[in-house]
Structure 1
């Protein structure tokens, strides 16, 4: 089974020079923990990963070990052939890890975090996988499209489970898809961004709506100390943060691009309409009927 995970595209291409044994042990633990429908195995995997962690007083070694775990997880989750089932099993292992109490670690970012409840360095490693490959003129190959979507799906599952961040990166991912006009040039890239926005609603929409609810009445400016300021796209003119007004705009925008005449194909339009419907379902589950006058 370990070979199956090691042969996933991004795992197989990892540079493991100087850390072969540690990466192999991490894969052993994750292979145990990712057996379908076996919570006990995930708990055992978490115990193995916890036991192998260097003493937290050895800051460099402990930080490096955590980095290796998250890098392997990110490569498993983001590989083109990774399935949603694999990603969900990784989330279960993460939840089990959070229950292991080890102590505080001063990470490379300079802060003190609890191992394992805070999942130190998890965000710094995993969120690099779902960066927009086209931000700096990169080419969107079919393989990278699959990696990009898988990484965003995994991050959405993490958001739904209550860990991962900073969540403003999620809003940026949806903003570029929904808050800018659709143009005929590079339509494939536009459609990929829209599908990723749909994925975020599917897997992390409930957390996004709760965040918007928590921000009712919150006044934000460019120097917001909590990092809640999130620029608007050219089509959205509401508050520059995650709020109910933005949520409502996204819902309307999904419906708009789901109509004939939007320039998108039928499959894409259907995905957009389904995302809008999913937002309505989430509103009912959370127990809030959106009022567009609320921000």
Structure 2
């Protein structure tokens, strides 16, 4: 599978072809398509304004009844479709393509639009600053590559690059997502297939590159509930504390170094850079702590 690099035109039509898009979803897709293409055709702030204008909320009469049979008029359904489309198109945007940066700029622009309070699944959330429903939608789209086919692996790396940027830019705080992604890659035996091994280290590299500092700031030895311990338990090779803690970070750093000898030659520098980056993040944090003291 040829992967676009630089500012090449992205073939996103596959999303439209694979999904039966409703009319309002066609509008959403067209905005996202133009946002990510070379140019871009539409700037992030303008794309955010257009999406906001399409949102089915009558500001003049917020108590007006919503036709829940019409997804274009239902805020929950609208948000689920929007986030789902974003995830699907971002699976087709390689880490090195400017479309990754443009999408983060778009989300940041959404977050700057004057907030409105919504009742989302029984809780009050702010549109757009809380990015309501994004977390469950992402969880619903955590479809691991499964069989080591090149297309599936490329899409998984692309999606992880996008998720890492969301976390790194602190648009969404989600310790368990970090743990799930790095646990899969670093806390179990490596698969036999070289292509899958390379995928694991590529995923780790995206997380450390785009979210490493944020992850390190969030390390904590706080006491966890039994449910939190179950959800963030270690993989086969990690026997330390559950949760996002310093012990786990240290294990991940050591494991990245070990894996660097087991991936293909072209991926070895990426693995070593990830391990070096983790050490640099620790050093920067130490210096910052000394300066505060």
- Give 1:120 shift: 0.9
Match of 2:71 in 1: none
1:182-221 maps to which residues of 2 (within 5 A)? 182=190, 185-212=192-219, 215=220, 217-221=221-225
Native 8 Å contact 2:37 2:99 kept in 1: no
Selected match of 1:115 from 114, 124, 127: 127
Match of 2:150 in 1: 142
Q: Which runs of 5+ in 1 are unaligned?
A: 291-295
Match of 1:23 in 2: 25
Say if 1:193 and 1:121 are closer, same or farther in 2 by CA, change over 3 A: same
- Give 1:147 shift: 0.8
- Give 1:113 shift: 1.4
Deviations 1:70-104 (A, max 9, x none): 12211221116685310110110111101113422
Say if 1:37 and 1:140 are closer, same or farther in 2 by CA, change over 3 A: same
Say if 1:257 and 1:32 are closer, same or farther in 2 by CA, change over 3 A: closer
1:1-295 maps to which residues of 2 (within 5 A)? 7-8=11-12, 10-17=14-21, 19-20=22-23, 22-30=24-32, 33-34=35-36, 41-55=43-57, 57=63, 58=66, 60=68, 61-79=74-92, 84-108=97-121, 110-134=122-146, 139-164=147-172, 166-182=174-190, 185-212=192-219, 215=220, 217-224=221-228, 230-259=232-261, 263-287=262-286
Give the TM-score taking structure 2 as reference length: 0.80
Native 8 Å contact 1:283 1:289 kept in 2: no
- Please give the alpha-carbon distance, in whole angstroms, between the structure 1 residues aligned to 2:14 and 2:280: 35
Deviations 1:163-193 (A, max 9, x none): 235331221221122122336x334323322
Structure 1 runs of 4+ aligned residues shifted over 6 Å read 35-38
Native 8 Å contact 1:79 1:150 kept in 2: yes
Equivalences, count: 269
Q: Which runs of 5+ in 2 are unaligned?
A: 1-8, 69-73
- Please give the alpha-carbon distance, in whole angstroms, between the structure 1 residues aligned to 2:208 and 2:230: 19
Superposition RMSD in Å: 2.9
- Give 1:251 shift: 1.0
Match of 1:293 in 2: none
Give the TM-score taking structure 1 as reference length: 0.79
